[in-house]
Chains A and B, each alone.
Chain A
Amino acid sequence: MSERALFIDYARCIGCQACVQACEECDTHRGQPMIHLETIRRRDSVQTAPQVCMHCEDPICAQVCPADAIKKGPDGVVHSALTHRCIGCSNCVLACPFGVPKYFAAIDQMMKCDLCYDRTSIGKKPMCATVCPSQALTFMTPEELERTRRGTAVNEWVFGEERVRTKVSVVVPHEVKEVHVNLVQLGKRREKAEPDDVAALLEEG
Protein backbone atom coordinates (compact mmCIF):
# COMPACT_ATOMS: atom_id res chain seq x y z
CA MET A 1 0.00 0.00 0.00
CA SER A 2 1.33 3.44 -0.89
CA GLU A 3 1.67 6.29 1.57
CA ARG A 4 -1.28 8.49 2.32
CA ALA A 5 -1.36 11.85 0.55
CA LEU A 6 -3.52 14.96 0.50
CA PHE A 7 -6.08 15.41 -2.29
CA ILE A 8 -8.23 18.40 -3.14
CA ASP A 9 -11.55 18.14 -4.92
CA TYR A 10 -12.72 21.76 -5.20
CA ALA A 11 -16.11 20.72 -6.58
CA ARG A 12 -17.01 18.97 -3.34
CA CYS A 13 -16.49 22.01 -1.14
CA ILE A 14 -19.66 23.20 0.58
CA GLY A 15 -18.10 26.30 2.12
CA CYS A 16 -18.72 25.24 5.72
CA GLN A 17 -15.42 26.77 6.97
CA ALA A 18 -14.63 23.69 9.08
CA CYS A 19 -11.16 23.44 7.53
CA VAL A 20 -10.44 27.09 8.31
CA GLN A 21 -11.43 26.64 11.94
CA ALA A 22 -9.47 23.40 12.30
CA CYS A 23 -6.43 24.84 10.54
CA GLU A 24 -6.24 27.54 13.21
CA GLU A 25 -5.70 24.87 15.82
CA CYS A 26 -2.64 23.37 14.22
CA ASP A 27 0.28 23.73 16.64
CA THR A 28 2.77 25.07 14.13
CA HIS A 29 0.73 28.23 13.49
CA ARG A 30 -1.76 28.32 16.33
CA GLY A 31 -4.46 30.95 16.01
CA GLN A 32 -3.85 31.62 12.32
CA PRO A 33 -5.55 29.62 9.57
CA MET A 34 -3.20 28.91 6.69
CA ILE A 35 -5.88 27.54 4.39
CA HIS A 36 -7.56 29.83 1.87
CA LEU A 37 -11.27 29.43 1.28
CA GLU A 38 -12.26 31.32 -1.85
CA THR A 39 -15.78 32.27 -2.86
CA ILE A 40 -15.87 32.05 -6.62
CA ARG A 41 -18.03 33.98 -9.03
CA ARG A 42 -20.46 35.05 -6.36
CA ARG A 43 -22.68 36.65 -8.99
CA ASP A 44 -23.81 33.37 -10.54
CA SER A 45 -22.72 30.54 -8.27
CA VAL A 46 -22.28 29.77 -4.62
CA GLN A 47 -19.14 27.79 -5.21
CA THR A 48 -16.35 27.94 -2.68
CA ALA A 49 -12.95 26.33 -2.91
CA PRO A 50 -10.19 25.53 -0.41
CA GLN A 51 -6.53 26.03 -1.25
CA VAL A 52 -3.69 24.57 0.75
CA CYS A 53 -0.01 24.53 -0.10
CA MET A 54 0.57 22.04 -2.89
CA HIS A 55 4.12 21.26 -1.69
CA CYS A 56 5.85 21.67 -5.04
CA GLU A 57 8.79 19.50 -6.00
CA ASP A 58 10.88 22.57 -6.90
CA PRO A 59 9.01 25.30 -5.05
CA ILE A 60 8.90 28.63 -6.83
CA CYS A 61 8.27 30.34 -3.49
CA ALA A 62 11.71 29.15 -2.35
CA GLN A 63 13.41 30.11 -5.61
CA VAL A 64 12.28 33.71 -5.46
CA CYS A 65 12.96 34.10 -1.74
CA PRO A 66 15.86 36.53 -1.28
CA ALA A 67 16.51 35.31 2.25
CA ASP A 68 16.67 31.60 1.46
CA ALA A 69 14.01 31.16 4.13
CA ILE A 70 11.85 28.44 2.59
CA LYS A 71 13.06 24.88 2.85
CA LYS A 72 11.77 21.57 1.65
CA GLY A 73 12.22 18.59 3.95
CA PRO A 74 13.42 15.18 2.77
CA ASP A 75 9.78 14.05 2.95
CA GLY A 76 8.79 16.64 0.33
CA VAL A 77 7.01 18.97 2.74
CA VAL A 78 7.73 22.63 2.01
CA HIS A 79 7.92 24.40 5.35
CA SER A 80 6.76 27.80 6.49
CA ALA A 81 9.41 30.54 6.31
CA LEU A 82 12.30 30.06 8.72
CA THR A 83 11.62 32.78 11.27
CA HIS A 84 15.25 33.77 11.72
CA ARG A 85 15.68 34.31 7.99
CA CYS A 86 12.42 35.64 6.53
CA ILE A 87 12.64 39.39 5.93
CA GLY A 88 9.00 39.81 5.03
CA CYS A 89 9.39 40.86 1.40
CA SER A 90 6.34 38.96 0.06
CA ASN A 91 8.10 37.70 -3.05
CA CYS A 92 6.81 34.23 -2.22
CA VAL A 93 3.26 35.49 -1.74
CA LEU A 94 3.28 37.03 -5.20
CA ALA A 95 5.14 34.30 -7.06
CA CYS A 96 3.51 31.09 -5.79
CA PRO A 97 1.49 29.74 -8.73
CA PHE A 98 -1.24 28.57 -6.36
CA GLY A 99 -1.46 31.78 -4.34
CA VAL A 100 -0.63 30.12 -1.04
CA PRO A 101 1.81 31.98 1.26
CA LYS A 102 0.43 34.69 3.56
CA TYR A 103 2.31 37.74 4.75
CA PHE A 104 1.70 38.93 8.31
CA ALA A 105 2.67 42.56 8.74
CA ALA A 106 2.80 42.59 12.56
CA ILE A 107 5.49 39.93 12.70
CA ASP A 108 6.90 41.01 9.32
CA GLN A 109 7.01 37.40 8.17
CA MET A 110 5.46 34.94 5.81
CA MET A 111 3.63 31.89 7.08
CA LYS A 112 2.13 29.11 5.05
CA CYS A 113 0.55 25.68 5.22
CA ASP A 114 3.14 23.10 6.24
CA LEU A 115 0.84 20.12 5.88
CA CYS A 116 0.25 20.19 9.67
CA TYR A 117 3.80 19.03 10.16
CA ASP A 118 3.22 18.35 13.85
CA ARG A 119 0.59 15.82 12.79
CA THR A 120 1.61 14.41 9.41
CA SER A 121 5.19 13.82 10.57
CA ILE A 122 3.84 11.31 13.09
CA GLY A 123 1.35 9.68 10.76
CA LYS A 124 -1.78 11.68 11.59
CA LYS A 125 -4.01 13.34 9.01
CA PRO A 126 -3.73 17.09 8.51
CA MET A 127 -6.39 19.08 10.38
CA CYS A 128 -8.31 20.17 7.27
CA ALA A 129 -8.72 16.67 5.87
CA THR A 130 -9.68 15.38 9.32
CA VAL A 131 -12.66 17.71 9.64
CA CYS A 132 -13.82 18.27 6.05
CA PRO A 133 -17.36 16.83 6.02
CA SER A 134 -17.60 16.58 2.23
CA GLN A 135 -14.06 15.29 1.87
CA ALA A 136 -13.20 18.04 -0.58
CA LEU A 137 -9.93 17.77 1.31
CA THR A 138 -8.98 14.19 1.95
CA PHE A 139 -5.92 12.33 3.18
CA MET A 140 -5.73 8.77 1.89
CA THR A 141 -3.70 6.47 -0.31
CA PRO A 142 -3.92 6.95 -4.10
CA GLU A 143 -5.43 3.47 -4.33
CA GLU A 144 -8.21 4.38 -1.93
CA LEU A 145 -8.89 7.52 -3.93
CA GLU A 146 -9.10 5.67 -7.24
CA ARG A 147 -11.45 3.14 -5.66
CA THR A 148 -13.82 5.60 -4.06
CA ARG A 149 -13.84 8.60 -6.41
CA ARG A 150 -15.00 9.50 -9.83
CA GLY A 151 -12.01 10.85 -11.74
CA THR A 152 -8.32 10.70 -11.13
CA ALA A 153 -5.75 12.73 -9.22
CA VAL A 154 -3.21 14.88 -11.03
CA ASN A 155 -0.18 16.69 -9.67
CA GLU A 156 1.28 18.04 -12.91
CA TRP A 157 0.64 21.67 -13.75
CA VAL A 158 1.62 24.02 -16.52
CA PHE A 159 1.46 27.75 -15.80
CA GLY A 160 2.19 29.50 -19.05
CA GLU A 161 5.27 27.51 -19.95
CA GLU A 162 6.28 26.69 -16.41
CA ARG A 163 5.87 23.06 -15.39
CA VAL A 164 5.17 22.39 -11.76
CA ARG A 165 4.85 19.03 -10.05
CA THR A 166 3.30 18.89 -6.62
CA LYS A 167 3.03 16.54 -3.66
CA VAL A 168 -0.65 17.39 -3.19
CA SER A 169 -3.02 16.43 -6.02
CA VAL A 170 -6.35 17.63 -7.37
CA VAL A 171 -9.16 15.35 -8.52
CA VAL A 172 -9.98 15.82 -12.25
CA PRO A 173 -11.69 13.77 -14.99
CA HIS A 174 -9.85 10.63 -16.11
CA GLU A 175 -8.83 12.05 -19.46
CA VAL A 176 -6.74 14.79 -17.85
CA LYS A 177 -3.03 14.11 -17.38
CA GLU A 178 -1.88 17.59 -16.48
CA VAL A 179 -3.60 20.88 -15.83
CA HIS A 180 -2.82 23.76 -18.20
CA VAL A 181 -3.40 27.10 -16.61
CA ASN A 182 -3.81 29.95 -19.04
CA LEU A 183 -5.38 33.36 -19.04
CA VAL A 184 -8.04 32.07 -21.40
CA GLN A 185 -9.54 30.28 -18.48
CA LEU A 186 -9.41 33.18 -16.10
CA GLY A 187 -12.63 34.76 -17.35
CA LYS A 188 -12.86 38.50 -16.91
CA ARG A 189 -15.58 39.84 -14.74
CA ARG A 190 -17.66 42.84 -15.73
CA GLU A 191 -15.90 46.16 -15.23
CA LYS A 192 -18.48 47.65 -12.87
CA ALA A 193 -21.35 46.03 -10.98
CA GLU A 194 -24.89 47.21 -11.73
CA PRO A 195 -26.31 49.15 -8.76
CA ASP A 196 -29.01 46.50 -8.09
CA ASP A 197 -26.71 43.50 -8.52
CA VAL A 198 -26.12 42.76 -4.84
CA ALA A 199 -24.01 39.68 -5.47
CA ALA A 200 -21.63 41.53 -7.74
CA LEU A 201 -21.44 44.43 -5.34
CA LEU A 202 -20.57 42.03 -2.55
CA GLU A 203 -17.79 40.60 -4.64
CA GLU A 204 -16.42 44.04 -5.24
CA GLY A 205 -16.34 44.48 -1.49
Chain B
Amino acid sequence: MTPAKRAPPPSREALRAATVGLSASALLILGIYVGSRRFKDFDVALVPYAAATVFAAFALGYRYAIWLGRPPTKRYFQQSLAIFFTRGKILANTLGLARAVYGSLFTQRFIRERSTLRWLAHFCIMWGCLLAAAVTFPLSFGWIRFETPRDSQEMYEAFVFGVRVFRCRLDSPLASLMFNALVVSAVLVLVGIFLSLYRRSRDRGVLAVQEASSDLLPLILLFAISATGVLLTISTHFMNGFNYTFLSQFHAVTVILTLLYIPFGKFFHIVQRPTQIGVQLYKQEGAAGEQAKCARCGEPFASALQVGDLKRVQAELGIRYGLAGGGHYQDVCPPCRRKNLALLQDGMWGAVRRGGDPESKES
Protein backbone atom coordinates (compact mmCIF):
# COMPACT_ATOMS: atom_id res chain seq x y z
CA MET B 1 0.00 0.00 0.00
CA THR B 2 1.22 3.46 -0.80
CA PRO B 3 0.37 6.69 0.96
CA ALA B 4 -1.03 9.64 -0.96
CA LYS B 5 1.75 10.85 -3.18
CA ARG B 6 1.47 14.59 -2.70
CA ALA B 7 3.52 16.56 -0.16
CA PRO B 8 6.58 14.45 0.66
CA PRO B 9 8.20 15.66 3.88
CA PRO B 10 10.84 18.22 2.93
CA SER B 11 14.24 17.91 4.57
CA ARG B 12 13.49 20.68 7.07
CA GLU B 13 10.65 18.53 8.35
CA ALA B 14 12.98 15.56 8.62
CA LEU B 15 15.48 17.61 10.58
CA ARG B 16 12.83 18.83 12.97
CA ALA B 17 11.55 15.29 13.40
CA ALA B 18 15.07 14.00 14.04
CA THR B 19 15.43 16.65 16.75
CA VAL B 20 12.21 15.48 18.37
CA GLY B 21 13.40 11.87 18.15
CA LEU B 22 16.79 12.67 19.65
CA SER B 23 15.16 14.65 22.44
CA ALA B 24 12.90 11.70 23.24
CA SER B 25 15.93 9.40 23.48
CA ALA B 26 17.88 11.92 25.52
CA LEU B 27 14.99 12.37 27.94
CA LEU B 28 14.69 8.65 28.37
CA ILE B 29 18.42 8.23 29.01
CA LEU B 30 18.26 11.05 31.53
CA GLY B 31 15.24 9.38 33.11
CA ILE B 32 17.14 6.12 33.39
CA TYR B 33 20.21 7.86 34.79
CA VAL B 34 18.29 9.76 37.46
CA GLY B 35 15.69 7.06 38.16
CA SER B 36 18.32 4.37 38.68
CA ARG B 37 20.29 6.66 40.96
CA ARG B 38 23.19 7.18 38.55
CA PHE B 39 22.94 3.62 37.31
CA LYS B 40 23.36 2.22 40.86
CA ASP B 41 20.14 0.25 40.55
CA PHE B 42 20.58 -0.42 36.87
CA ASP B 43 20.79 -4.13 36.06
CA VAL B 44 23.53 -4.61 33.47
CA ALA B 45 21.87 -7.80 32.25
CA LEU B 46 19.00 -5.68 31.02
CA VAL B 47 21.13 -3.30 28.95
CA PRO B 48 19.95 -4.71 25.59
CA TYR B 49 16.32 -4.04 26.54
CA ALA B 50 17.06 -0.51 27.66
CA ALA B 51 19.10 0.16 24.53
CA ALA B 52 16.31 -1.08 22.28
CA THR B 53 13.87 1.13 24.15
CA VAL B 54 16.11 4.15 23.69
CA PHE B 55 16.23 3.47 19.97
CA ALA B 56 12.46 2.95 19.85
CA ALA B 57 12.01 6.28 21.63
CA PHE B 58 14.03 7.98 18.92
CA ALA B 59 12.09 6.37 16.09
CA LEU B 60 8.75 6.99 17.80
CA GLY B 61 9.59 10.65 18.36
CA TYR B 62 10.72 10.96 14.75
CA ARG B 63 7.66 9.35 13.25
CA TYR B 64 5.30 11.14 15.58
CA ALA B 65 6.78 14.50 14.60
CA ILE B 66 6.54 13.71 10.88
CA TRP B 67 2.97 12.61 11.38
CA LEU B 68 2.02 15.70 13.39
CA GLY B 69 3.60 17.82 10.69
CA ARG B 70 1.09 16.73 8.03
CA PRO B 71 -1.26 19.67 7.40
CA PRO B 72 -4.54 17.99 8.47
CA THR B 73 -2.96 16.47 11.57
CA LYS B 74 -1.27 19.70 12.55
CA ARG B 75 -4.51 21.63 12.16
CA TYR B 76 -6.44 19.22 14.40
CA PHE B 77 -3.66 19.20 16.94
CA GLN B 78 -3.48 22.98 17.19
CA GLN B 79 -7.24 23.40 17.20
CA SER B 80 -7.91 20.79 19.88
CA LEU B 81 -5.26 22.33 22.11
CA ALA B 82 -6.72 25.79 21.55
CA ILE B 83 -10.22 24.51 22.30
CA PHE B 84 -9.06 22.69 25.41
CA PHE B 85 -7.30 25.72 26.82
CA THR B 86 -10.12 28.16 26.14
CA ARG B 87 -10.35 30.35 29.21
CA GLY B 88 -13.22 29.54 31.50
CA LYS B 89 -13.81 26.16 29.91
CA ILE B 90 -10.83 24.19 31.14
CA LEU B 91 -12.75 22.49 33.93
CA ALA B 92 -15.65 21.46 31.68
CA ASN B 93 -13.14 20.33 29.04
CA THR B 94 -11.23 18.25 31.56
CA LEU B 95 -14.44 16.48 32.53
CA GLY B 96 -15.30 15.94 28.86
CA LEU B 97 -11.80 14.64 28.30
CA ALA B 98 -12.08 12.18 31.18
CA ARG B 99 -15.37 10.90 29.78
CA ALA B 100 -13.88 10.50 26.30
CA VAL B 101 -10.79 8.74 27.67
CA TYR B 102 -13.00 6.34 29.59
CA GLY B 103 -15.25 5.57 26.61
CA SER B 104 -12.67 5.46 23.84
CA LEU B 105 -9.45 4.31 25.45
CA PHE B 106 -10.55 2.42 28.54
CA THR B 107 -13.71 0.52 27.60
CA GLN B 108 -13.26 0.97 23.83
CA ARG B 109 -16.97 0.97 23.16
CA PHE B 110 -16.39 1.83 19.51
CA ILE B 111 -14.61 -1.47 18.93
CA ARG B 112 -17.35 -3.43 20.68
CA GLU B 113 -19.86 -1.85 18.31
CA ARG B 114 -17.98 -3.48 15.45
CA SER B 115 -17.99 -6.95 16.95
CA THR B 116 -17.78 -8.39 20.42
CA LEU B 117 -15.19 -10.95 19.39
CA ARG B 118 -12.96 -8.29 17.97
CA TRP B 119 -13.37 -6.18 21.08
CA LEU B 120 -12.58 -9.08 23.41
CA ALA B 121 -9.47 -10.02 21.43
CA HIS B 122 -8.27 -6.43 21.42
CA PHE B 123 -9.11 -5.94 25.08
CA CYS B 124 -7.06 -8.99 26.15
CA ILE B 125 -4.10 -8.04 24.02
CA MET B 126 -4.18 -4.41 25.08
CA TRP B 127 -4.42 -4.98 28.83
CA GLY B 128 -1.93 -7.84 28.66
CA CYS B 129 0.59 -5.62 26.91
CA LEU B 130 -0.02 -2.65 29.18
CA LEU B 131 0.44 -4.78 32.28
CA ALA B 132 3.63 -6.28 30.89
CA ALA B 133 4.95 -2.85 29.94
CA ALA B 134 4.13 -1.44 33.36
CA VAL B 135 6.23 -4.17 34.96
CA THR B 136 9.13 -4.54 32.57
CA PHE B 137 9.96 -0.99 31.54
CA PRO B 138 10.56 0.32 35.07
CA LEU B 139 12.52 -2.87 35.85
CA SER B 140 14.80 -2.58 32.86
CA PHE B 141 15.34 1.13 33.53
CA GLY B 142 16.36 0.42 37.10
CA TRP B 143 13.45 2.42 38.47
CA ILE B 144 12.14 -0.52 40.44
CA ARG B 145 14.26 -3.02 42.27
CA PHE B 146 13.42 -5.98 44.50
CA GLU B 147 15.60 -7.35 47.25
CA THR B 148 15.55 -9.79 50.10
CA PRO B 149 16.73 -7.86 53.15
CA ARG B 150 19.84 -9.02 54.96
CA ASP B 151 18.04 -9.61 58.22
CA SER B 152 15.43 -11.99 56.85
CA GLN B 153 15.32 -14.43 53.94
CA GLU B 154 11.53 -14.71 54.24
CA MET B 155 10.90 -11.12 53.35
CA TYR B 156 10.91 -9.21 50.14
CA GLU B 157 11.41 -5.49 49.64
CA ALA B 158 10.48 -3.28 46.74
CA PHE B 159 12.30 -0.03 45.96
CA VAL B 160 11.04 2.64 43.59
CA PHE B 161 13.66 5.18 42.55
CA GLY B 162 15.77 3.85 45.37
CA VAL B 163 13.12 4.46 48.01
CA ARG B 164 11.71 1.45 49.81
CA VAL B 165 7.96 1.43 49.24
CA PHE B 166 6.97 -1.82 50.87
CA ARG B 167 8.04 -5.07 52.42
CA CYS B 168 6.11 -8.28 52.29
CA ARG B 169 6.56 -11.95 53.12
CA LEU B 170 7.82 -14.15 50.27
CA ASP B 171 4.82 -16.46 50.64
CA SER B 172 2.24 -13.68 50.83
CA PRO B 173 -0.41 -13.33 48.10
CA LEU B 174 1.01 -9.90 47.18
CA ALA B 175 4.44 -11.37 46.50
CA SER B 176 3.07 -14.17 44.37
CA LEU B 177 0.96 -11.68 42.45
CA MET B 178 4.08 -9.68 41.76
CA PHE B 179 6.09 -12.71 40.72
CA ASN B 180 3.34 -13.80 38.40
CA ALA B 181 2.26 -10.48 36.92
CA LEU B 182 4.11 -11.27 33.74
CA VAL B 183 2.56 -14.72 33.51
CA VAL B 184 -0.88 -13.16 33.86
CA SER B 185 -0.09 -10.63 31.14
CA ALA B 186 1.30 -13.34 28.85
CA VAL B 187 -1.80 -15.49 29.28
CA LEU B 188 -4.05 -12.49 28.54
CA VAL B 189 -2.09 -11.72 25.40
CA LEU B 190 -2.14 -15.36 24.28
CA VAL B 191 -5.91 -15.57 24.73
CA GLY B 192 -6.27 -12.36 22.75
CA ILE B 193 -4.05 -13.68 19.97
CA PHE B 194 -6.04 -16.88 19.64
CA LEU B 195 -9.34 -14.98 19.52
CA SER B 196 -7.88 -12.63 16.97
CA LEU B 197 -6.56 -15.43 14.77
CA TYR B 198 -9.88 -17.22 15.03
CA ARG B 199 -11.66 -14.09 13.80
CA ARG B 200 -9.09 -13.45 11.12
CA SER B 201 -9.36 -16.97 9.76
CA ARG B 202 -13.16 -16.96 9.57
CA ASP B 203 -14.23 -13.47 8.52
CA ARG B 204 -14.13 -13.42 4.73
CA GLY B 205 -14.01 -9.65 4.59
CA VAL B 206 -10.95 -9.61 6.83
CA LEU B 207 -9.37 -12.43 4.84
CA ALA B 208 -9.67 -10.35 1.67
CA VAL B 209 -7.99 -7.22 2.99
CA GLN B 210 -5.56 -8.36 5.68
CA GLU B 211 -1.85 -8.27 4.96
CA ALA B 212 0.77 -10.59 6.40
CA SER B 213 3.25 -7.80 7.04
CA SER B 214 0.97 -5.34 8.75
CA ASP B 215 -1.76 -7.48 10.32
CA LEU B 216 -0.20 -10.85 11.11
CA LEU B 217 3.40 -9.91 11.97
CA PRO B 218 2.37 -8.02 15.14
CA LEU B 219 0.42 -11.06 16.32
CA ILE B 220 3.36 -13.34 15.59
CA LEU B 221 5.73 -11.09 17.54
CA LEU B 222 3.40 -10.91 20.53
CA PHE B 223 2.92 -14.65 20.41
CA ALA B 224 6.68 -15.25 20.40
CA ILE B 225 7.19 -12.96 23.40
CA SER B 226 4.36 -14.39 25.43
CA ALA B 227 5.03 -18.02 24.60
CA THR B 228 8.73 -17.83 25.43
CA GLY B 229 7.88 -15.87 28.57
CA VAL B 230 5.48 -18.54 29.78
CA LEU B 231 7.93 -21.31 28.83
CA LEU B 232 10.61 -19.60 30.92
CA THR B 233 8.35 -19.79 33.95
CA ILE B 234 7.50 -23.41 33.25
CA SER B 235 11.17 -24.24 32.82
CA THR B 236 12.03 -22.63 36.17
CA HIS B 237 9.24 -24.03 38.25
CA PHE B 238 8.52 -27.42 36.77
CA MET B 239 11.50 -28.55 34.71
CA ASN B 240 14.55 -27.65 36.78
CA GLY B 241 15.59 -24.94 34.38
CA PHE B 242 15.39 -27.06 31.27
CA ASN B 243 16.72 -25.07 28.28
CA TYR B 244 16.55 -21.94 30.38
CA THR B 245 19.49 -20.14 28.77
CA PHE B 246 18.28 -20.75 25.26
CA LEU B 247 14.76 -19.71 26.14
CA SER B 248 15.82 -16.52 27.87
CA GLN B 249 18.01 -15.52 24.93
CA PHE B 250 15.23 -16.26 22.51
CA HIS B 251 12.80 -14.29 24.66
CA ALA B 252 15.19 -11.33 24.71
CA VAL B 253 15.48 -11.40 20.93
CA THR B 254 11.69 -11.39 20.47
CA VAL B 255 11.24 -8.51 22.91
CA ILE B 256 13.98 -6.44 21.30
CA LEU B 257 12.64 -7.05 17.80
CA THR B 258 9.19 -5.96 18.93
CA LEU B 259 10.54 -2.82 20.59
CA LEU B 260 12.30 -1.94 17.36
CA TYR B 261 9.13 -2.64 15.37
CA ILE B 262 6.78 -0.48 17.47
CA PRO B 263 7.49 2.82 15.71
CA PHE B 264 7.19 1.38 12.22
CA GLY B 265 4.29 -1.02 12.15
CA LYS B 266 0.79 -1.46 13.40
CA PHE B 267 1.76 -0.79 17.02
CA PHE B 268 2.23 2.87 16.11
CA HIS B 269 -1.51 3.22 16.58
CA ILE B 270 -0.92 2.96 20.33
CA VAL B 271 0.56 6.47 20.33
CA GLN B 272 -1.67 7.67 17.52
CA ARG B 273 -5.01 6.64 18.98
CA PRO B 274 -5.27 9.28 21.73
CA THR B 275 -5.80 11.91 19.00
CA GLN B 276 -9.31 10.49 18.78
CA ILE B 277 -9.96 12.23 22.09
CA GLY B 278 -8.86 15.57 20.70
CA VAL B 279 -11.08 15.08 17.68
CA GLN B 280 -14.06 14.35 19.93
CA LEU B 281 -13.47 17.64 21.72
CA TYR B 282 -13.18 19.37 18.35
CA LYS B 283 -16.44 17.85 17.16
CA GLN B 284 -18.27 18.94 20.32
CA GLU B 285 -17.00 22.46 19.90
CA GLY B 286 -17.99 22.45 16.22
CA ALA B 287 -21.50 21.14 16.92
CA ALA B 288 -22.09 23.85 19.51
CA GLY B 289 -20.97 26.61 17.15
CA GLU B 290 -22.09 27.91 13.77
CA GLN B 291 -23.01 25.38 11.07
CA ALA B 292 -21.90 25.54 7.44
CA LYS B 293 -24.79 25.64 4.95
CA CYS B 294 -24.58 23.98 1.56
CA ALA B 295 -24.15 26.33 -1.39
CA ARG B 296 -26.66 24.29 -3.37
CA CYS B 297 -29.43 23.14 -1.05
CA GLY B 298 -28.91 25.58 1.79
CA GLU B 299 -29.03 22.85 4.44
CA PRO B 300 -26.48 22.76 7.27
CA PHE B 301 -24.11 19.84 6.67
CA ALA B 302 -21.08 20.28 8.95
CA SER B 303 -19.63 22.66 11.48
CA ALA B 304 -18.37 25.94 10.08
CA LEU B 305 -15.26 25.29 12.17
CA GLN B 306 -14.42 22.09 10.30
CA VAL B 307 -15.27 23.43 6.84
CA GLY B 308 -13.08 26.46 7.46
CA ASP B 309 -10.21 24.31 8.70
CA LEU B 310 -10.58 21.97 5.74
CA LYS B 311 -10.29 24.84 3.29
CA ARG B 312 -7.09 25.92 5.00
CA VAL B 313 -5.70 22.41 4.96
CA GLN B 314 -6.61 22.03 1.30
CA ALA B 315 -4.81 25.26 0.46
CA GLU B 316 -1.71 23.94 2.23
CA LEU B 317 -1.95 20.65 0.37
CA GLY B 318 -2.45 22.35 -2.99
CA ILE B 319 -6.02 21.09 -3.45
CA ARG B 320 -7.72 23.87 -5.45
CA TYR B 321 -11.46 23.67 -4.96
CA GLY B 322 -12.10 27.35 -5.77
CA LEU B 323 -14.87 27.57 -8.38
CA ALA B 324 -14.91 29.79 -11.46
CA GLY B 325 -17.88 31.79 -10.21
CA GLY B 326 -16.11 32.67 -6.98
CA GLY B 327 -17.61 29.90 -4.86
CA HIS B 328 -15.81 27.04 -3.21
CA TYR B 329 -16.53 23.39 -3.90
CA GLN B 330 -15.98 22.66 -0.20
CA ASP B 331 -19.20 24.60 0.47
CA VAL B 332 -21.27 22.00 -1.40
CA CYS B 333 -22.62 19.22 0.81
CA PRO B 334 -21.78 15.60 -0.10
CA PRO B 335 -25.34 14.65 -1.24
CA CYS B 336 -25.46 17.71 -3.52
CA ARG B 337 -22.07 16.77 -4.96
CA ARG B 338 -23.47 13.36 -5.88
CA LYS B 339 -26.67 14.81 -7.33
CA ASN B 340 -24.71 17.39 -9.25
CA LEU B 341 -22.57 14.75 -10.95
CA ALA B 342 -25.62 12.93 -12.29
CA LEU B 343 -27.26 16.20 -13.35
CA LEU B 344 -24.07 17.15 -15.13
CA GLN B 345 -24.06 13.96 -17.15
CA ASP B 346 -27.73 14.41 -17.86
CA GLY B 347 -27.05 17.95 -19.07
CA MET B 348 -24.35 16.73 -21.45
CA TRP B 349 -26.68 14.28 -23.12
CA GLY B 350 -29.38 16.93 -23.22
CA ALA B 351 -27.02 19.29 -25.02
CA VAL B 352 -26.20 16.57 -27.55
CA ARG B 353 -29.91 15.96 -28.15
CA ARG B 354 -30.42 19.66 -28.77
CA GLY B 355 -27.45 19.64 -31.15
CA GLY B 356 -25.29 21.79 -28.84
CA ASP B 357 -21.90 21.42 -27.21
CA PRO B 358 -21.98 18.97 -24.30
CA GLU B 359 -18.88 20.57 -22.79
CA SER B 360 -20.60 23.93 -22.47
CA LYS B 361 -20.70 24.93 -18.82
CA GLU B 362 -24.22 26.30 -19.13
CA SER B 363 -26.40 23.28 -18.73
Interface on A for B, CB 8 Å cutoff? 9-11, 13, 26-30, 36, 38, 40-41, 47, 49, 51, 58-60, 62-68, 70-74, 79, 83-85, 87-91, 93-100, 106-109, 114, 117-118, 121, 151, 159-162, 170-173, 175-177, 179-189, 191
Shortest distance from the beta carbon of B319 to any chain A beta carbon, whole Å: 6
Q: Are B338 and A186 touching (Cβ within 8 A)?
A: no
In the complex, which residues 324-343 of chain B have their Cβ closer than 8 Å to any Cβ of chain A?
Answer: 324-325, 327-330, 332-343
Q: Say whether B324 contacts A184, CB under 8 Å.
A: yes
A96: B residues at CB distance < 8 A: 334, 337
Contact of A10 among B327, B345, B352 (CB under 8 A): B345
B interface residues, tally (CB under 8 Å): 82
**Are A68 and B276 in contact, with the CB atoms below 8 A?**
no
Q: Nearest residue in A to B207 (C-beta to C-beta)? A: A118
Q: Are A108 and B276 in contact (CB under 8 A)?
A: yes
Q: In the complex the two chains form, what is the Cα distance from A180 to B214 in whole Å?
A: 39
Contact, CB under 8 Å: B205 / A29: yes
Instruction: Assess whether B329 is in contact with A180, with CB atoms less than 8 Å apart.
Output: no
Residue B147 at the chain A interface, CB threshold 8 Å: no
Contacting pair A28 B208 (CB below 8 A): yes
A28-B205, A71-B1, A94-B334 known; 14 other A-B pairs, CB under 8 Å? A11-B345, A13-B342, A58-B4, A58-B5, A62-B3, A63-B319, A71-B3, A91-B310, A107-B113, A118-B205, A160-B324, A184-B325, A185-B347, A186-B343
Q: Which residues in A have their C-beta under 8 angstroms from that of B301? A: 94
Q: Could you write out 19 A-B pairs with CB less than 8 Å apart? A: A10-B346, A29-B205, A36-B338, A40-B343, A41-B343, A49-B339, A49-B341, A63-B72, A66-B73, A72-B1, A73-B1, A94-B301, A94-B310, A94-B330, A95-B314, A183-B296, A184-B362, A185-B343, A186-B343
Interface centre among A49, A95, A159, A184, by most chain B C-beta atoms within 10 angstroms, is A95
Is A160 a contact partner of B358 (Cβ separation < 8 A)?
A: no
Q: Residue-by-residue, is B41-79 near A (CB-CB < 8 Å gives 1, otherwise 0)? A: 000000000000000000000000001001011011000
Is B348 a contact of A172 with CB atoms below 8 Å?
yes
Complex Cα–Cα for A170 and B345 (A):
8
Cross-chain contact B310 with A162 (CB below 8 angstroms): no
User: Would you call B163 an interface residue if the criterion is a C-beta within 8 Å of the partner chain's C-beta atoms?
Assistant: no
Question: Roughly how many angstroms separate A41 CA and B342 CA in the complex, as a whole number?
Answer: 11
Of B72, B76, B313, B329, the contact of A160 (CB 8 Å cutoff): B329
Closest beta carbon of chain B to A29's beta carbon, Å:
7
Q: Is there an interface contact between A185 and B363, defined as CB atoms closer than 8 Å?
A: yes
Segment of B186-194, B229-237, B267-275 engaged in the interface with chain A:
B267-275
Closest 8 CB pairs of A and B: A99-B334, A49-B342, A118-B208, A27-B205, A99-B337, A28-B205, A161-B320, A10-B342
State whether A90 touches B324 (Cβ < 8 A): no
Q: How far is the CA of A143 from the CA of B58 in the complex (A)?
A: 53
- Taking a contact as CB atoms under 8 Å apart, the answer to whether A186 and B340 are in contact is yes
Q: Which residue of B lies closest to A40 (CB)?
A: B339
Docked CA distance A114–B205 (Å): 11
Residues of B contacting A173 with CB < 8 Å?
348-349, 351-352, 358
A106: contacting residue among B104, B110, B295, B317, CB under 8 A: B110
